Chain A
Amino acid sequence: AQSVTQLDSHVSVSEGTPVLLRCNYSSSYSPSLFWYVQHPNKGLQLLLKYTSAATLVKGINGFEAEFKKSETSFHLTKPSAHMSDAAEYFCVVGGGGNKLTFGTGTQLKVEL
């Protein structure tokens, strides 16, 4: 069984400040972990993925995430937020049969 918990349903930051979106997971397997972004009326886009290689994963648009097994966490960060980063972000765990289990999402708001 696998599950994922996104600790914040909404996060608000000022443009140019760091972003932290938190995610904890539970998995019976050695997990694959993903972060997806969903802009309004657009399909889900893969930001980055962890598949048991380097624990610090770099993704697109300056995002990165660190896999911490001891904390069962996979938090998403970005050093400096941009207005275009405003969107819904989903933490996802992949398991057997390539089935994806989605978190409930975090709405990121970026203010001037």
Chain B
Amino acid sequence: GAVVSQHPSWVICKSGTSVKIECRSLDFQATTMFWYRQFPKQSLMLMATSNEGSKATYEQGVEKDKFLINHASLTLSTLTVTSAHPEDSSFYICSARGGGAGEQFFGPGTRLTVL
């Protein structure tokens, strides 16, 4: 199947700093990418959907000014957590989908810890 990578796999940062997480589709062109957040022992919650070249669509309750999403190319989307705080600590997972209503392929996730 298609491969999606995320970088970094884990990151620790100080409160108030910004952190960028990359999501890449390695062997296919992803017209749509999704960003999820997973708290310990909980389910994945969709944060936003991004289409290449367009602004991301955020789910209700997700602050778009805090979680900046850029999908500048068909193989790369980035999530930037701005002015991170300890409550932003979580596991962030991206997925990518080619054209149409095809399967979403998931990245391995990025664990963010904000001190």
Considering only residues 81-110 of chain A, those with a C-beta below 8 Å from chain B are 90, 97-105
Q: How large, as a class, is the contact surface on chain B?
A: 20 to 34
Contact mask for chain A residues 2-15; partner B; CB cutoff 8 A; 1 contact, 0 none: 00000001000000
Which stretch, B12-20, B39-47, B65-73, B74-82, touches the partner chain A? B39-47
Residues of B within 8 A of A102 (CB): 36, 43-45
A56 contacts partner chain B, Cβ-Cβ < 8 Å: no
The reply to whether A98 and B43 contact each other, CB–CB distance below 8 Å, is no
B97 contacts partner chain A, Cβ-Cβ < 8 Å: yes
Report B's interface with A, CB cutoff 8 A: 1, 4, 9, 32, 34, 36, 41-46, 49, 93, 95, 97, 101, 103-109
Alpha-carbon gap, A34 to B101, bound state (A): 14
5 sample A-B contacts, Cβ–Cβ < 8 Å, listed by A number: A43-B4, A46-B103, A49-B103, A100-B46, A102-B43
Please give the number of chain A residues whose Cβ is less than 8 angstroms from any Cβ of chain B in the complex: 19
> Known contacts A43-B4, A98-B101; is A103 also within 8 Å of B106 by CB?
no
The reply to whether B4 and A90 contact each other, CB–CB distance below 8 Å, is no
A70 contacts partner chain B, Cβ-Cβ < 8 Å: no
**Looking at the complex, which one of A42, A45, A97, A104 makes contact with B43 (CB distance below 8 Å)?**
A104
